[in-house]
Structure 1
Amino acid sequence: MACLVVSIGITFLAWAIVISSSVPKVASIAPASSLIKDVCVGRELPIDFNLCVEILNSEPRVVSASDLTSIAIAITEAGLSKAKKTQWYVRKLQKQPGRTPDYGYVLQQCNAAYELYLVHFRNALDTVKYEDYLSAAYNLKAGYTDDINQCRNAQSSRKVKDAVISKGNELMLMFADVAFQTVDRLIT
């Protein structure tokens, strides 16, 4: 019984950390710049414009960006930061005993997916800085078409619901899509 209480406590704490760091503080948000609004328009994925603006506007490095290159870098850095937090949560859950085989499978797939996502985002960040926008776009696109979808598909196929992982996946999709679309504009 004590193990169960400790497991629940750890899960709740991890969930609270991931969610609180992912949800923007509305009271402290400055008005969105036209650059933030610009990168949130016309995404490939169905991303809520207002949510995109709100999340990006809660990231100081994104708010201080002054052009497409600097905002692409800032969005990629923010995506890396959020992905690390979600992966941390997944890894904490993997260490807890008593998971069903389906939940264990989902955690394994999501951990692998986030690891690949982080690799692709680090590569994208490096290549944007060296103005290799085509390589950066490839890495960012792989981040949401392959990596995060691996986690989402595992959740769906095993019918495992985890609000923190699902929220992390949605944030990663948004960061990857917005960063991809921004870098893609730098190619042309």
Structure 2
Amino acid sequence: MIRDVCASTRKQIELDNKFCIETLASEPRIVAATDLVKMSLALIEAAMSNATKTRDYAKKLLKQPGLKPDNIYVMQQCDRGYFSCYMSFWSALRETQEKEYDYASYDIKIAFTDNVDWCRNALTSKKVNDEVLSRGNEFIFVFGAVAFVTLDLLPSED
């Protein structure tokens, strides 16, 4: 099922198929999913976990003394973006559980694009190289893009 959802996502959103498969296969709850609803829930939960870890990393760096102004700006933007990202995924999780897939898709799209863009754009604009934040952004993109496409395959209840 992982190969199928990565392939379906790749048809709609530019995505590295190998990275998608490797990322999803590294998450036991995604591997254990037996249908698209369970897969969507597992993807959202994995995204929430990643958002929390990435935000915690940015917050930890903000507490370090002597941080350069550009790095402070980046960490603040990533903290803000990942907080919003988590909240959007949290809403999507509740909506998916309630079979409101259209609403969940919207919240997921906002999470893995607009919300995380605060962090992505800050890294780019300030020319800050941070492997942990960059990797967190990549993971959120994969979990979010695949969840977005997967939810789109599910019929919404009226």
- TM-score where L is the length of structure 2: 0.93
Correspondence for 2:7: 41
State the alpha-carbon separation in 2 of the partners of residues 54 and 39 from structure 1.
12
Correspondence for 2:41: 73
Structure 1 residue 159 displacement after superposition: 1.0
Correspondence for 1:31: none
Superimposed CA distance per residue, residues 75-127 of structure 1 (whole angstroms, 9 cap, x where no aligned partner) = 11111111111111111000001111111001000000000000000000010
Say which structure, 1 or 2, has more relative contact order (CA 8 Å, 6+ apart). Answer: 2
Structure 1 residue 55 displacement after superposition: 1.5
Correspondence for 1:163: 131
Q: In structure 1, list runs of 5 or more residues that go unmatched.
A: 1-34
- Structure 1 letter corresponding to 2:7: V
Matches within 5 A, 1:131-146: 131-146=99-114
- Alignment pair present for 1:129 and 2:97: yes
Correspondence for 2:148: 180
State the alpha-carbon separation in 2 of the partners of residues 152 and 115 from structure 1.
14
The verdict on how the C-alpha distance between 1:182 and 1:145 changes in structure 2, with shifts beyond 3 A counting, is same
Q: In structure 2, list runs of 5 or more residues that go unmatched.
A: none
State the alpha-carbon separation in 1 of the partners of residues 130 and 25 from structure 2.
26
Structure 1 residue 37 displacement after superposition: 0.9
Higher Rg of the two aligned structures:
1
Deviates more, 1:40-49 or 1:73-82: 40-49
Correspondence for 1:108: 76
Which residue, 25, 29, 32 being the options, matches 1:57?
A: 25
- TM-score where L is the length of structure 1: 0.79
- Structure 1 letter corresponding to 2:128: V
Q: What SS class does the counterpart of residue 83 from structure 1 fall into?
A: helix
- Structure 2 letter corresponding to 1:40: C
State the alpha-carbon separation in 1 of the partners of residues 22 and 138 from structure 2.
14
Correspondence for 1:97: 65
- Alignment pair present for 1:83 and 2:51: yes
Structure 1 residue 45 displacement after superposition: 3.4
Instruction: Could you list the structure 1 runs, at least 4 aligned residues long, displaced by more than 3 angstroms after superposition.
Output: none
> Percent identity over the alignment?
44
Q: What SS class does the counterpart of residue 41 from structure 1 fall into?
A: helix
